[in-house]
Structure 1
Amino acid sequence: MCGNNMSVPLLTDAVTVPAGERETGAVIFLHGLGDTGHGWAEALSAIRLPHVKYICPHAPRIPVTLNMKMVMPAWFDLMGLSPDAPEDEAGIKKAAESIKTIIEHEVKNGIPANRIVLGGFSQGGALSLYTALSCQHKLAGVIGLSCWLPLHKTFPQAASGVNKEISVLQCHGEADPMIPVRFGNLTSEKLKSVLNPSKVQFKSYPGVMHSTNQEVRTPFGLLLPRVAWGSLEYQKKL
């Protein structure tokens, strides 16, 4: 189905990789600080699924406190990268709402919410986790690469409860100098206290820094068919 992307600002310039067949699922993947959606769209193109489209939006350009107020693509402002650093609460919540408008757009255009996966790298992964936990739609899953849970002290109260059974995959490099793997572990433990712990997977990778490689992307690719592929009954309706 065709919708009007102009009504959803982030979709206007987003990089979209269409499904090879009729679209019954979607992956919304968010890039990291200072990046764009182009590189991730190219990487995800290698994990093609017949009925799944990929949407890789670009973050707006804003001043980032952590980087001496330089203007760059960022989903929200960053003051620091430690678990106790001050956070841009208003910016995080605003960014989450903008991602929720993409979810709403896809649902209105025929893709069920429970066939939509959120994912992201670094700051994009952080935003994906926060958005999934606070979303009112029951989603298929969320993938966080080298990331953390923003506003973690507000959970479980901030969680909508709708996605308590959501499948979560976290992947983190053990040599990450920017977001140490112990922050990823802390995030995983927090998620297990909010969600069904049996649905939360945390995988760490020796020697991997603040980046991904094929070893990291392998479980990523294995999760997508399980959570984004429509059920046999749903496929029969098409």
Structure 2
Amino acid sequence: MLQTVEQETGASPQWSVIWLHGLGADGHDFAPIVPELVRPHWPALRFVFPHAPVRPITINNGVPMRGWYDIVGMDFRSRADMTGVQESVVQLDALIAREIERGVAADHIFLAGFSQGGAVILSAALARTAPLAGLIALSTYLPDAESASRVDGAVDVPVFMAHGSSDPVIPQAVAAHSAEKLRALGLDVQWHSYPMAHQVCAEEIDALGDWLQARLGAA
């Protein structure tokens, strides 16, 4: 089981958000976003921020750092080490199972990810047959999008996908193509673009809060 940083916004949470960080960061990276995102009238949530394993990253001259998979080149059609992606999906499944063991229903679990973390949660959704509350995919893309497919019985899940129009790490066109591919595969993708680089912004967090509120209130 991956080590995690956790925050609970109230007693006995019945909702969980498992949030995967980007390359070279760790589970502490997005923890400060919780007070900016959460609204006072929401039900209690547990935020789970796992630490990715440390691994050599090819495009960084093999320097070891926390990463959900290796990046082997610059071409987005083949840059992700898909074996590493699938290993991270298995680790994510274990975190989901732990939340269910803690008493959180599967359809009350959100998966969130930034950059590499987002690539993992999008890959996980295509292979998942059990319910989820939704996906939060920030400044990210779908690895191996051209050959991506859903398993039989894959669950339909709403997706909040946001990107920076000036992102120098993952060009917005790559992310937009991933959103189109996800829609073609049957996922309900809500797309947002912001005048920013490879980061998050206040307007994005406000929009994500509205998206989350609609789902928390509908349960």
**Which interval holds the TM-score relative to the shorter structure?**
over 0.9
Aligned to 1:192: 183
Partner in structure 2 of residue 114 of structure 1? 107
Q: Would you say 1:162 and 2:162 are equivalent positions?
A: no
- Indicate if the aligned counterparts of 2:37 and 2:205 stay in contact, CA closer than 8 A: no
1:40-189 superposed matches below 5 A? 40-48=30-38, 49-156=42-149, 158-164=150-156, 166-189=157-180
TM-score, normalised with respect to structure 2: 0.92
Equivalent pair of 2:78/2:144 in contact (CA under 8 Å): no
Q: 2:205 aligns with which of 217, 227, 235?
A: 217
CA distance in 2, matches of 1:58, 1:46: 21
* Letter in structure 2 aligned against 1:53: R
Matched to 1:195, the amino acid is G
Q: Distance in 2 between matches of 1:108 and 1:212?
A: 32
What is the total number of aligned residue pairs between the two structures? 216
| Per-residue deviation, residues 10-35 of structure 1 (Å, max 9, x unmatched) | 1xx31101131321110001000000
Kept in 1: contact 2:77–2:144 (CA 8 A): no
1:200 maps to amino acid = V
Q: Could you tell me which of 187, 190, 193 is aligned with 1:201?
A: 190
Aligned match of 1:15 in 2, 5, 10? 5
Distance 2:101 2:197 in 1: 39
Change in CA separation of 1:230 and 1:58 when aligned onto 2, cut-off 3 Å: farther
Report sequence identity in percent. Answer: 33
Distance 1:173 1:145, change over 3 A: same
Structure 1 residues 218 and 161 mapped into 2: Cα distance closer, same or farther (>3 Å)? Answer: farther
For residues 230 and 100 of structure 1, do their structure 2 counterparts lie closer, same or farther at Cα, with a shift above 3 Å needed?
farther
Question: What TM-score comes out, normalization by structure 1 length?
Answer: 0.85
